[in-house]
Amino acid sequence: MNDLKQQTKRIAVSACLLGQPCRYDGKSKPDEKVIALCKEDGVELLAICPEQQGRLPIPRTPSEIQGGDGADVLQGKAKIISKDGEDRTEAFLTGAKKCLEQIKEFRPEMTILKEFSPSCAVKHVCDGSYSGKRKAGQGVLAVLLKEEGYEPVSEREVGET
72 and 112 in contact (C-beta within 8 Å)?
Answer: no
CA 66 to CA 9: how far, in whole Å? 37
The pLDDT value given to residue 4? 53
Average pLDDT, the chain: 94
The pLDDT value given to residue 7? 59
Q: What percent of the chain is helix, strand and coil (3-state, nearest 5)?
A: 35, 20, 45
Q: Which mean pLDDT values do the consecutive 10-residue runs of the chain (161 residues) have?
A: 60 98 97 96 97 97 98 98 98 98 97 98 97 97 98 92 49
65 and 78 in contact (C-beta within 8 Å)?
Answer: yes
- Label residue 107 left, alpha or beta by phi (over 0 means left) and psi (-120 to 50 means alpha): left
Predicted TM-score (pTM) of the model is: 0.92
CA 24 to CA 150: how far, in whole Å? 26
